[in-house]
Amino acid sequence: MSFPSTEVRLIATFKQGLKQAVSDIDGYSWDDVDSITEQKLLLMAIRDHDLDSEVTIQWYADGDMLPELDHGIENAGELAIRDEEGPYPAVQQVAEYYIATEENSESLPTEMSITEVINAETFSWLREYYDQRDGPFQDLYLANIDTHLHLYQCAKACDPEAAVEDFPENLIQPLSERTSEMKRELLRFQVFAGLESYVTQFTKVAETVLDECANRGVAEMDQEQRSEYQKLLQHLDTFYYHGLWKQITRLIAVHTVSGPEDYFERAANWGRVEKTKEKFVEVFSEFAETASEYDIDVDIKEDQLPEVWINRESITKEEFLDWELGQSLPKDAVSSVPEDDPVYDLVG
C-alpha cells in the first residue's frame, strides 16, 4: 500500500481550504474559479506559508504553476490535512487565511482580494500578475499575454452570448507588434535559438486570417453576423496557444522546474521539447482545415522550422536563466540540428 506524498497532501489541503473559503463567501461558488486563478491563488498561499520548497513548481504556458495539481489529485478531500496541531496548516487554517484577504489583500498577487481576483477578467488579471512578479523571461510572458488577449478579444466579440458590442478596430497591428516583441525576446536568449522561426510562421498565418476578416468587414458587422466568425477566431487563438506558445514554454518548463517531483516533470518535458516541430505542424494542419471552411488559404514553410534538440544534462536552472545574447552557450545544450548532422559543428 502506497501513502500519498507530503506534496500531494499539501496541495490537497490548500485546494480544499481555498474551496471552503470561496464557498463561505456569499454569492460565490467553486464554479467561479478557473484553473489559472486556482493555480495562482494556491501558489500565493503556499509561498506565504514558506512551503514552496515542499512542492514542485515550474514556469510553463500560464507562468508559475503546480504541475502536480495540473495532473489532477483524486480524493483531495480525503487527503487534505485536518489536524490543526500538526507541522503543516490544516484546511480550516488555510480557509481562514484566504478569508482574511478580504480585509487585507497585500499578500495576494496584484494585491487584490480573492473575490476581486475571481471577478477580474482572467487574462487581463494575468497580465497584471506577470507585470508585478519577478519571474523569468518577464517581457516574453507579457508579449505572449498581449498576443493571446488580442486574439481572445477578437473571438469573444463574435460570441453572441458575450454581449461584446465593439469588435477591435485594428486587427493586424496589435498582433504584429506583439509577435515582433516576442521574437525580439526569444533572440535575446541563445537558448531559444530557432524558435523565432515558429513565431514568424504563426504570424504570417494569423495576419492572413485577420486581414481577410478586415477585408470582409467583420468589424462593421452586427453581432449576429459576426458570430459566423467565432469558430475561426477561436481556433486561431488555439493554434497560437497550443501550437506556438506551449512549444516555447516547454523549453522553459524543463529548466525552471524545482521541487520533490522535478526529475519526473523534467523528463516528461524533454520528449515534448524534441517534438516541437511535429506538434506545431499538427496544430497548424488542424487550423488550416477550419480556415478552409471560410475559404481562407493558409500555409507554413515547414523547411524554415528547425528541429529542437536538447541535451538533458548540460544546463542548470541558474545557467538557463542567466544566458543572454553575447554569452557563450554550450552548443550541445540546445541546437537546431542533431549531433549526427554534418553541419552540427557549424552551429554555435
- pLDDT, one tens digit per residue, over 167-208 is 787 889 999 999 999 999 888 877 788 899 999 999 999 999
Q: What is the DSSP string of 167-232?
A: PPS-SHHHHHHHHHHHHHHHHHSGGGTTHHHHHHHHHHHHHHHHHHHHHTTGGGS-HHHHGGGHHH
Characterise 317 by phi-psi region: left (phi > 0), alpha (psi -120 to 50), beta (else): alpha
C-alpha cell at 23: 464557498
Q: Which helix (H) or strand (E) holds 310?
A: strand 309-310
| Angle in degrees, CA 315, 317, 319, rounded to 5 | 60
pLDDT score recorded for residue 342: 40
Distance CA 291, CA 298 (A): 7
Q: What is the DSSP string of 27-38?
A: T--GGG--HHHH
Q: What is the pLDDT of residues 125-162, one digit of tens each?
A: 999 888 887 777 888 999 999 999 999 999 998 988 87
Average pLDDT of the segment spanning 203-214: 96
Predicted confidence (pLDDT) at residue 109 exceeds the cutoff of 50? yes
Q: Is the CB of residue 185 less than 8 Å from the CB of residue 136? A: no
Query: Model confidence at 69, in pLDDT bands (50, 70, 90)?
Result: confident
pTM value is 0.85
Q: What is the pLDDT of residues 285-339, one digit of tens each?
A: 999 999 999 999 999 999 999 988 765 555 666 666 665 544 444 434 444 434 4
Average pLDDT, the chain: 85
Q: Which helix (H) or strand (E) holds 60?
A: strand 58-60
pLDDT score recorded for residue 2: 56
